[in-house]
Amino acid sequence: MTGKAKTRVEMPEQPEYIRRNNFEEVALGYTEELALMEAERCIQCRRPKCVEGCPVSVDIPGFIKLITEKKWTESLEKIYETNFLPAICGRVCPQETQCEELCILNRKENAIAIGRLERYVADRYYESPESLNEKGRLLSKREKPTGKKIAVVGSGPAGLTAAATLSRMGHSVVIYESLHKPGGVLTYGIPSFRLPKEIIKREVDEIKYMGVEIKLNYVIGRIKTLEELSESYDAVFIGSGAGLPNFMGIEGESLNGVYSANEFLTRVNLMQAWDEEYDTIIRKGKNVVVVGGGNVAMDAARSALRLGADNVTVVYRRSDTELPARREEIEHAKKEGVQFRFLTNPTKIIGDYGDEKVRKYDVKSIECIEMELGEEDSSGRRRPIPIPGTEFEIEADVVIIAIGTSPNPLIFNETPDLEKTKWGTVVVNDDLKCTKENVFAGGDIVTGAATVISAMGAGKKAAESIDEYLKNK
């Protein structure tokens, strides 16, 4: 067997000077040899803290031990006991702040690369010839049909996890998705260089093979109300996420060339604006400014670079230390050539109006002001404070606002007994049950924009609550 590595085994990547010009996946994945070397580093703790850090409670030592024994299918089956999207999670889950952060090896050396091993196991199975003849086998261990029907609103990570969990419990499940492709934010929000679309398709297909029906182009709140759904089904789960973009409310946000990150990434990812075979309309700026510091901001900046921008600048009102994006994505962006202006906040967007006869209303630049960090705010982070007299301009023909999202209010149409907060999120109790009878919710529509794995954890918890609710009813 391959020898144990002394330090964390790094994963091969496309060189930055090549990948910045394409939308192919940056991380190339482990080989069998590298996966075995990394798996051998796991000391198989008697009380594994890593499992406590996983929102869906994957048996991490269990699947890693099976890797060391080269029991590849059994390892994937172990993951599937609690996680229906392993190839997706292995790519976009922030393991470094969850399972890997609690790994005991962090005390002396780097944690086990749990996400990379999870990704390898899933990819290896789906790329193998036998998987073609076993579609749905890993998810087919369903309990006896209960006769109960459940509607799931949204096919993002929360909806997919809830649907798969409920289906395996024996319930009949139908997902209602507003877009023409399933996957929610996985499909429209995350670029292919981080999460290839074929990965999403194969894991969604696996859930469909186990009996879950997905109805596309179906907007709940328009085609059918939540009230009608709750009357037609034994229970409803709302996992429609937070797809309504937030703006800063500054002058110039209505100029041509100003995008929300949601619109920009939807045009790139769902409408394939990066592919010349598609006639998707998008402004491919030469000087692009992205406002924000989360993963969405990194995705937008790196996409703009790949679309041909000469200069891409991320403007963030706090320092590098406070950037909320995954450190891996930040470093990838820096290596690819994205520039960062820290302790900087926009004050207005300036237009190039041309002459009086032909007014273009195009973006010309963005005015910013320098900031300094003051006392901690309610989030525990130091509050950014403007420094008077430090205003300056950054040249820009495209500005992308990536400062967060809120739930789409359509879901509340004609459903007055569904209570929401002042932020537009759904009110739920500890069991994720809404104020409306037989309706549950989880993921970003409850918490606001968060991570893929936290939404999956909510979908799993809601499914368990729905199952208990139906049994008691």
Q: What is the pLDDT of residues 287-337, one digit of tens each?
A: 999 999 999 999 999 999 999 999 999 999 999 999 999 999 999 999 999
Give me the CATH topology for the region 141-243+406-472: FAD/NAD(P)-binding domain (3.50.50)
Superfamily in which the 16-134 domain is placed by CATH? Alpha-helical ferredoxin (1.10.1060.10)
- Whether residue 133 has pLDDT greater than 80: no
Task: Please check whether the two domains, 141-243+406-472 and 247-403, share a CATH topology.
Answer: yes
Question: Which stretch of 185-189, 286-290, 406-410 has the lowest confidence by average pLDDT?
Answer: 406-410
Residue with tokens 């190839």: 87
Q: What six digits make up the tokens of 40?
A: 């051998």
d(CA 299, CA 419): 33
Average pLDDT over residues 279-287: 93
Indicate the class that CATH gives domain 247-403. Answer: alpha beta
**pLDDT digits over 441-457, tens only?**
999 999 998 899 999 99
Neighbours of 473 (CB within 10 A): 9
Q: Domain boundaries in the chain? A: 16-134, 141-243+406-472, 247-403
Q: For residue 134, what pLDDT band results from cuts at 50, 70 and 90?
A: low
Helix axes 295-306, 327-336, angle to 10 degrees: 20
Query: 295 in the Ramachandran plot: left (φ > 0), alpha (ψ -120 to 50) or beta?
Result: alpha
What average pLDDT does the segment 160-181 reach? 96
Mean pLDDT of the chain: 92
**Which residue shows structure tokens 């879901």?**
411
> What residue spans of 343-451 are helical by DSSP H?
444-447
Q: Say how far apart CA 339 and CA 276 lie, in whole Å.
A: 27
Picking from 443, 317, 429, 320, the residue whose alpha carbon sits closest to that of residue 383 is: 317
pLDDT(139) > 80 = no
Q: What is the pTM of this model?
A: 0.93
Residue 198 and residue 323: Cα distance in Å, rounded? 30
3 state DSSP class of 52: helix
Give the whole-angstrom CA distance, residue 433 versus residue 237. 9
Beta bridge partners of 395: 365
Lowest-confidence segment of 93-102, 171-180, 406-415 by average pLDDT: 406-415
Give the per-residue pLDDT at 1: 44
Count the Cβ atoms, other than its own, within 10 Å of residue 99: 27
**Over residues 138-167, mean pLDDT:** 91
More confident residue, 109 or 435: 435
